[in-house]
Amino acid sequence: YWRLFRIYKNKSSLLCAILVVAGFVREELWGGERHYSFDFAGPGRGLLIETESDLPHGSGLGSSSILAGALLSSLHKLSGNIDQQLTEDKLINQVLQIEQLHTSGGGWQDQLGGCISGGAKIGWVESVGERKCCWRSIPLGGELIKEFSKKFVLLYTGKTRWPKTLLKQVLLSWARQEPQILATVERLAKGAWKAEKMLIEGKFPSEVCTEYNELKKIFASNTEPSQVTELKNLMEKENLIESAWMAGAGGGGFLYIWLKQKENNILEKLENLLKSDGRWKEMNIWRVELENKQPLIVK
């Protein structure tokens, strides 16, 4: 049963990988083969884990990494292991281990954004010394937070994305060390620092987000489905949006949208646009509200 964690499309495979990394499953080598045993096995013992998500599968919003971080924190609390504190660094790295064990791949951006308190953040890895995720919080002014509530929406594309395939393409492109790929990575990094500066100044970096979306296409051409491109072009033509970019690695899931908000009924116009054409029948709008409280609380 524990071999499920290596097949990322299987139900409960993520939960199995989390239990292995959390230390609830013992791994032993017998006769050249790996064997796994559950720590809670035996009469009258067991562990019931229930998870729930309202998000569609393959959303691109990093929900699997955030779920992994939440469960790791809960299991650490359950184990009563007070001698080994689950620090933020450790949480980020253990979620990385889960993703590798799960064979889904991934980075540290999702658990940094969704499991570590502090609102908006920028993360990086130093070019020398220990290879670990560093980060700092980006303060958001009150007016910008209000602007988020009015202008930032999500559009579900109706397509399930499989990030594993996209990530393989990206890693292969990087491994070949092609000059275009190296230049693209440098531009992405510069864009991140520029976005941080603009957010501190109280401005939303819509142009940076647009460039980021275009740069992703250099790594993998299928990061933006053709229907999404057609809709984006139409929304721009109708003067409804400032920027729109695919969530995560792209390929499906959600599209982030920053509205122009010149009129009070701009969102209604966007919803009517989706209803006007059969090409967009699987798509729908999700409203966004920023949460200022700590995102992860384990009682």
Task: Answer yes or no: is pLDDT of 36 > 60.
Answer: yes
The CATH code that applies to domain 142-287 is: 3.30.70.890
- Mean of pLDDT values over 66-86: 83
Q: Outline which parts of the chain fall under CATH 3.30.70.890.
A: 142-287
Residue-wise pLDDT tens digits, 260-283: 977 778 999 999 999 999 999 889
Q: What pLDDT score does 239 carry?
A: 92
| Model pLDDT, residue 295 | 57
pLDDT in tens, 225-274: 889 999 999 999 999 999 999 998 777 889 999 999 777 789 999 999 99
Average pLDDT (157-186) is 82
Q: 100: which 2 tokens?
A: 């590798």
Taking CA atoms, 127 is separated from 91, 100, 106, 290, in Å, by: 22, 22, 20, 33
